[in-house]
Chain A
Amino acid sequence: MPRKPKPFVSYVKLKKWGRYYAALTLLLGFAAVNSGNNLLYFFLAALLSIMALSGFISYLSLKSIQLSITPPEELYAKTINYLKVKVKNRGFLPLFLIYAKKSDKERVLFDVIPPSGSKEGLLPYFFEKRGYNKVESIFVGTTFPLSFTIREMYYPLNLNLLVFPHIHKIKREVKVENPENTGWGVESSKEGAIGDFMGLREYAFQDKISRIHWKKIKDEKLYVKKFEDENFQVLSLDISSNATEEEIEKVASLAVHFLELGHSVGLKIDGKTAIPPDSGIQQKIKILQKLALLGYES
């Protein structure tokens, strides 16, 4: 089992051209020692200086880094998520070619960060499973100043992120067998509000901007008026507490699908109401949180 690297301690890996460089330096050293040519010694000294100085600069670069990660509100399993990475340069030299990575594919590169400046980038991050995922660390590294070596550092983060189940795209129209509001309203092809005012509900993705109730802006949330003749339905999705991953993903996908269409969706676990039906983004998050932790909660 590979040994766990120490936090904030950087290490150096040789790249292909770095190996050539090292071999040439050794060869030159051999030639200098065995010929006694001091000009070769001088050149050898220069090569060693380049090596030492580039090591020192890359070390200083990593030491000057202050890194923070802001995850997005919604993280999904088995999908590439983008975490916002902010790198601050605390040093007096500009930082070049700093990258943060989880793996070689999940990497974000910052070309130049001025002294005392900072830069933000999006780090692609793949979560294998739903539920709480620990992001203990990421690797921060640089190939600067010379592409002969890579200097990397293990940067501890200790984040515990809640990852929602994977969401499948639903292309077909889903037939709802037993909607709880059977008989609610009739289909209307007309724009605008027809029928009796039923109250307010949270804005959903499918809603038209014209239906936003601008007088009611609360907690930075948008609301739309609900009318009697709208084709919105109240749905409850039932799932077993022993559901498989596939079933959880399907229920999560349905919930997201219906909520995006503006329906009110609730969640029942083993027939008991876990989340009463409602619509909007907050409802989606509640349902996905519940599903993310289904089976993990005692």
Chain B
Amino acid sequence: MKVEKRIKTIVYLPLTVAMASLAHSLSPTGLFFLAILAIAFYLDLTKEFYISGKILTALGILLTLFFFTLALRTPFEAIAYWIMSLSIIKILGKKAMRDLKQIVALSFFNFVDSAIFHYSFVFLIYLVLYIVSASIALLIITFLDDKKETSLRVDLLNTLRNFGIGFGIATTLMSLFFFIILPRSPYVLLRAQIYSPTRREGFGNELQMGRVEYMNRRDQILMRVKPLMKRHDEFLYIRGNVYNVYKKETWIRDPENLTGWNYKGKENYKSKTFAFQITLEPMSTKALYVPDYPEYIDVRGIPYTESWGKVFLTRESEIARKVQYKAFSSSAPDETYPKGVDFLSVPEKYTSLIDSLIEKENLKGTTPLETAQKIKVYFLKNFQYSLEIAGDTNWVDRFLKTRKGHCEYFATLAALILRREGIPSRIVAGYLTKEWNIFGNYFIVRTKHAHTWVEYYFNNQWLSFDPTPPFEEKPGALSKLSEYIDYLSYLWTTQVLEFSFSNQIRIFNALQTSMKKLFRKNVLSLLGYLLALFILTAAITFLFKRSKERLHPATVYYRKFEKILKSKGYKITPAMTSKEIANLIISFEAIDFLDEYNKCRFSGNCDLEQLKRKFENFRRSIS
């Protein structure tokens, strides 16, 4: 490849990485821009085809106007597409030295923009690639800039490339240090959320029959729940939303917000709470999930409300970014019965059917607790868990006939039976997970873990009751490797994305404590440490200096000469002068070589080629 082409390819590399990063986070539309960039590269590098500057300027103006109008609706995306378009336009035009610099600058803007959209740890890979490629590009531009030439020798280009790779790697490692120490404010003025075009599905204010069945068939990871206490159950019920009105085969939360579920706040639950750290993916719904029974949450940057049913709802329309928070739960059920909220209505079309079922199967208990137990036993004995039933308007009939169904049907029917018996009840939607990551010690919650259960009001508290018969979850395809990759992703979120001022304080405090510990030990051990440190430094310095002391090139030949003589049985001692050696072996070639060596080594007039020739003569003569 020609040097000019190689230079161009190297300069285009950071732009490619930056645009790939941006396109990745904005796929599939972003991939379209990436494809056009690939075509532009092809035209430039292979065909040397360029579009006239005037046409490109006009195109640039038109695209700017277009994206400006688009920005009124989706500003972040519009800016990203605009920058990508300008980059492509730049590649399509003819380029001078200044343009090469501008291309690297554009790659910078593309990459910064991609940082707004990314939240996956793939960003780290892009970042390393970008730093390395941009370092090489900048080194080459620096060289061209200073030499005022547009061509470089291939060997020099290779040297610069290797240097650039080393520079990039060193930069990446140093970035970790800067990342930790850069000042962070606990009070962020304009908390811009990491914009994610893709949201996971959760539980909104309505739960249509069949919805959970649909979710059960999907395998996306929604959250990771790390218990912060030593003992915890093997499974976890995680509450999302609570519904009270059932109509048109849909559970509805009505009203959506009604504060005051006897929320006691952090202080009152210190002694008897279970703590969890939850890392939630961006969700299209408002619920902030908490293991049952929720008490309070500690979340920053997202305003929320504690609503009826022990539910936490964001005040925003959705959870637009990955969020990490601490959740606290207890064994205490909800004690609040919100006034004016309907927990008893049953759709008329089901009343007779349910009443006859209660009669037929003797589901009526003397207390609400007994009724709930009877329902549970009835389901357990007569029904099977299955995902094979699709939800439709006649689902109760079918459910009772086939005696197969999943949590939605069990919970709904149980709630309706309880209501017909005059027991206030409601549906809780959330997740039931048993999936445990052994590397990170956390529960993984996937869409397929979606679950519904029932709460009924008895003795001034909402008691939880899961009428769904036990079911065996299909073992996930999660191998140890993918489990480890998930752990890395978790680390990325908890240690990088959520790294905050308090983390910094914790690190500095730990450092301070370890320093104090070191100084608290007796003086002798401290002196020992210092002495060891001194010896280590001295040894490293000595070795480093020794490695720098390079042999005179003539001495290299002399050493070889000595080695040959020793191999031939001559006794050479370090004290012997070259003349003595010459007298010992009586060889014209040896004397000739020694003369040349002395001249080269001590007269300051060294002809290494001559020395080499004479050494070769000697070697030939002696062999």
Contacts and interface: CB of A to CB of B under 8 A. Distances in A.
Given A36-B184, A41-B179, A111 B147 contact: yes
Given A34-B189, A46-B131, A50-B171, A111 B176 contact: no
B229 interface: no
Nearest to A28: B112
A147 B115 contact: no
A214 B141 CA distance: 56
Contacts of B170: 49, 53
Given A45-B179, A143-B146, A50 B135 contact: yes
B190 interface: yes
B221 interface: no
Contacts of B139: 144-146
Interface string B385-425: 00000000000000000000000000000000000000000
Contact of B142 (A31, A43, A112, A143): A143
B174 interface: yes
Given A46-B131, A145-B139, A53 B156 contact: no
A143 B143 CA distance: 9
A63 B550 CA distance: 19
A70 B464 CA distance: 94
Nearest to A144: B142
Interface in A1-39: 17, 20, 24, 28-29, 31-39
Nearest to B189: A34
Contacts of B178: 44-46, 48-49
Interface centre among A33, A44, A50 (most CB of B within 10 A): A50
Interface in B120-146: 123-124, 127, 131, 135, 138-139, 141-143, 145-146
A85 interface: no
A29 B179 CA distance: 12
B601 to A, nearest CB: 17
A53 B167 contact: yes
Contacts of B189: 34
Contacts of A31: 192
Interface stretch (B367-375, B491-499, B555-563): B491-499
Interface stretch (A75-83, A89-97, A195-203, A242-250): A89-97
Interface in B3-26: none
A35 B188 contact: yes
Nearest to B142: A147
B159 interface: yes
Interface centre among A31, A40, A45 (most CB of B within 10 A): A45
Contact of B118 (A36, A39, A112, A143): A39
A51 to B, nearest CB: 10
Contacts of A90: 548
B115 A42 contact: yes
B48 to A, nearest CB: 27
Tell me if A's interface is mostly helix, strand, loop or mixed.
helix
B550 A116 contact: yes
B175 interface: yes
Given A145-B167, A147-B141, A39 B194 contact: yes
A38 B498 contact: yes
- Interface bin, chain B: 35 or more
Interface string A107-134: 0010110001000000000000000000
A136 B171 CA distance: 38
B191 A36 contact: yes
A127 B277 CA distance: 75
A176 interface: no
A145 B171 contact: no
A42 B175 contact: yes
Nearest to A91: B548
B182 interface: yes
Given A33-B185, A39-B115, A43-B111, A112 B156 contact: yes
Contacts of A42: 115, 123-124, 127, 175, 179, 496
Contacts of A44: 178, 182
A57 interface: yes
Contacts of B172: 46, 49
A37 B119 CA distance: 10
B236 interface: no
A154 B458 CA distance: 88
B386 to A, nearest CB: 44
Contacts of B112: 28, 40, 43
A69 B101 CA distance: 36
Contacts of B147: 97, 109, 111
Contacts of B138: 145-147
A49 B146 contact: no
A174 interface: no
B116 interface: yes
Nearest to A147: B142
Given A34-B190, A109-B147, A146 B142 contact: yes
A97 B146 contact: yes
Contacts of B261: none
B143 A39 contact: no
Given A46-B127, A144-B142, 9 more contacts: A29-B182, A33-B184, A33-B185, A34-B189, A39-B497, A40-B116, A45-B174, A48-B178, A146-B139
6 contacts: A29-B182, A37-B116, A49-B171, A109-B146, A109-B147, A144-B142
List the 5 closest pairs (A to B, CB-CB), nearest first. A45-B178, A35-B192, A49-B174, A147-B142, A39-B115
